[in-house]
Structures are given as structure tokens and as C-alpha cells.
């Protein structure tokens, strides 16, 4: 096992510290301070990623970062407060779509990602698992965000008996198609898994929106976090994997907790902290 570059290890440590401070700040009510610390941690992870990889298209990457930052700044200053939840949902959906593109790029050129077995020139088993998870989770997050943006407020409070069964069936089908792709990697298998994952994400968001927009957004955000963590394994970026795993676990647990509490007396109503 190759030793870790001290600069990379220091970057991961700083990013982990910033994420921890962001969580503590958010728990204490300092949401703005927590968001700033979280953004700083993501910037550190991005810098470490660029440093630790042989980037051949640095001008294009810098141009994309500048363009995206300018668009984000314009949206943040011009969007009214009432539209912020929709904006955040759209950004989460874009993160899921980006994960799908990362998985697709890795499938199109696995040699550039170091995902091929040198002896057989075939896709490595763990690489196939990470690729399938990246594409499937990204597709679920993207479809879930689209479902919330499409008719989220119209579906809020509406609970149909067949939705949990449909969502569960699509989740099982997604797992089955992912297993099929891992056993025999192919373009058709990856496309089928993506399509089924889109249905699973739509079903999950459709079910969660019955408990409210907040639970649905938390659940979709968790899916996007897991997609980021899976894509980090393809990029061999431990820091991004930790950050994505934290976001995925936090969003998934919060969303499921809020969905399970729907229809009951909330903790806040009982004068207890949620």
C-alpha cells in the first residue's frame, strides 16, 4: 500500500474538521455559520482532489468553476426567500445528475479512471459496484428532486396506499439490476439500472412528500450524498467519500424519521427539541 501524501492527509483532516464544526454550529442554531463552514470544507476537498489527480483539462475546469460560482452567486442574491427550498431541491437534483455523468464517464473510459484489471483488461469487481451505485443513486436523487419540483405542494399531505409498495418494489428492482450489471457489465445493463433507479427515486419522493416537503427534501438530499460518496470511490477521493457519506446518512436518517413521524404529534409540538 502506497503511503499517503502528507499534503493530501492534511487537506482531508482540515476538511473533516470543518465539517465537524459545521455540524456543531448547525446544532447550536448557527445555520449561516454552519453553511459557511460546510462550503469551506467542500472547497478544501475540491482543492485536494485537483492536487491529488493528474488533471489534463485545468483551464476548462477553472472556467466551469468560475461560471458555476457566478451563476450560484446570482441565484443566491436574486431568488426570493420563498423560493429557496425549490432552489435547494434543484441543486440537489443537479448533484444527482452530476453523479450519473461521473458514472457514465467512468464506464465510457474506465482506463482513465484506473478501473481495469491489468491482467485481463476487464472491469474490476469493486469498480463495477461503485459505478453501478453511483449511477443508480444519482438517478434516484435526480428523479426525486424532479418529482418534488413538479407537483410537490400538490402532493403534500396526500398518502396513497400503493406508493410504499411501489417504492419498495422499485428499490428491490434497482438492487437486482445493479447486481446484474456487476455480474456482467454492459451498456444495456447500466441503462436498465438507471431507468429503474429513476422510477425508484420518483416513488420514494412521491411517498415522502405525503409527510411534507421537508422530509422529501431531506430524503432526496441523502440520496445525493450517497451518490457523491459512491462517485468518490471511483475518483479514489477519501475526503469526498467521508463528506458524501456524512451527508447521505444525515439526510436519509432525518428524512425517514420525519416520514415515520407523519400524522403523529411532533416533538416540537410537545415542547421538546426535534
pLDDT in tens, 107-138: 988 887 788 887 777 888 888 999 999 999 99
pLDDT in tens, 209-239: 877 777 888 888 889 889 988 988 887 777 6
Q: Looking at the structure, tell me whether residues 196 and 143 fall in a common domain.
A: yes
Q: Looking at the structure, tell me whether residues 98 and 53 fall in a common domain.
A: no
Mean pLDDT for the chain overall:
79
Q: Looking at the structure, tell me whether residues 28 and 160 fall in a common domain.
A: no
Q: Which three cell numbers stand for residue 3?
A: 503511503
Domain boundary among 78, 98, 124: 78
Q: Looking at the structure, tell me whether residues 27 and 134 fall in a common domain.
A: no
Residue 16: domain span: 1-78
Least confident of 22-26, 100-104, 244-248: 22-26
Q: Looking at the structure, tell me whether residues 99 and 20 fall in a common domain.
A: no
Residue 31 has pLDDT above 90, yes or no: no
Q: Looking at the structure, tell me whether residues 88 and 132 fall in a common domain.
A: yes
Domain boundary among 50, 78, 106: 78
Q: Looking at the structure, tell me whether residues 55 and 67 fall in a common domain.
A: yes
Q: Looking at the structure, tell me whether residues 118 and 245 fall in a common domain.
A: yes
Q: Give residue 266's pLDDT.
A: 41
Q: Give residue 101's pLDDT.
A: 92
Q: Looking at the structure, tell me whether residues 1 and 53 fall in a common domain.
A: yes
Q: Looking at the structure, tell me whether residues 50 and 110 fall in a common domain.
A: no
- The number of residues in the chain equals 274
Mean pLDDT highest for which of 50-64, 109-123, 191-205?
191-205
pLDDT in tens, 96-106: 999 999 999 88
Residue 167 has pLDDT above 50, yes or no: yes
Q: Looking at the structure, tell me whether residues 69 and 156 fall in a common domain.
A: no
pTM recorded for the entire structure = 0.76
Q: Looking at the structure, tell me whether residues 229 and 110 fall in a common domain.
A: yes
CA-to-CA distance for 125 and 132, rounded, in angstroms?
A: 11
Domain count, the chain: 2
Q: At what angle do helices 6-27 and 31-52 cross, to 10 degrees?
A: 160
CA-to-CA distance for 235 and 229, rounded, in angstroms?
A: 10
- CA proximity to 138, closest of 54, 200, 58: 200
- CA proximity to 39, closest of 18, 20, 54: 18
Amino acid at each position: 500500500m502506497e503511503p499517503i501524501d502528507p499534503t493530501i492527509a492534511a487537506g482531508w483532516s482540515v476538511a473533516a474538521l470543518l465539517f465537524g464544526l459545521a455540524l456543531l454550529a448547525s446544532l447550536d442554531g448557527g445555520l449561516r455559520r454552519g453553511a459557511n463552514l460546510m462550503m469551506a470544507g467542500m472547497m478544501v476537498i475540491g482543492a485536494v482532489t485537483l492536487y491529488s489527480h493528474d488533471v489534463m483539462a485545468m483551464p476548462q475546469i477553472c472556467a466551469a468553476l468560475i461560471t458555476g460560482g457566478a451563476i450560484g452567486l446570482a441565484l443566491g442574491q436574486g431568488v426570493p426567500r420563498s423560493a429557496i427550498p425549490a432552489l435547494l431541491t434543484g441543486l440537489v437534483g443537479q448533484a444527482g445528475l452530476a453523479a450519473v455523468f461521473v458514472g457514465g464517464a467512468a464506464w465510457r473510459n474506465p482506463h482513465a479512471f484506473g478501473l481495469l484489471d491489468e491482467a485481463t483488461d476487464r472491469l474490476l469487481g469493486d469498480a463495477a459496484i461503485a459505478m453501478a451505485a453511483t449511477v443508480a443513486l444519482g438517478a434516484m436523487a435526480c428523479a426525486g428532486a424532479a418529482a418534488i419540483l413538479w407537483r410537490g405542494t400538490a402532493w403534500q399531505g396526500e398518502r396513497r396506499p400503493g406508493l410504499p409498495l411501489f417504492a419498495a418494489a422499485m428499490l428491490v428492482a434497482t438492487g437486482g439490476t445493479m447486481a446484474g450489471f456487476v455480474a456482467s457489465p454492459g451498456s444495456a445493463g447500466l441503462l436498465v439500472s438507471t431507468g429503474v433507479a429513476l422510477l425508484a427515486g420518483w416513488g420514494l419522493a412521491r411517498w415522502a412528500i405525503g409527510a411534507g416537503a421537508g422530509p422529501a427534501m431531506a430524503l432526496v438530499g441523502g440520496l445525493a450524498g450517497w451518490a457523491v460518496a459512491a462517485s468518490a470511490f471511483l475518483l479514489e477521493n477519501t475526503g469526498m467519500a467521508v463528506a458524501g457519506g456524512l451527508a447521505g446518512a444525515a439526510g436519509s436518517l432525518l428524512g425517514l424519521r420525519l416520514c415515520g413521524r407523519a400524522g403523529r404529534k411532533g416533538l416540537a409540538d410537545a415542547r421538546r427539541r426535534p
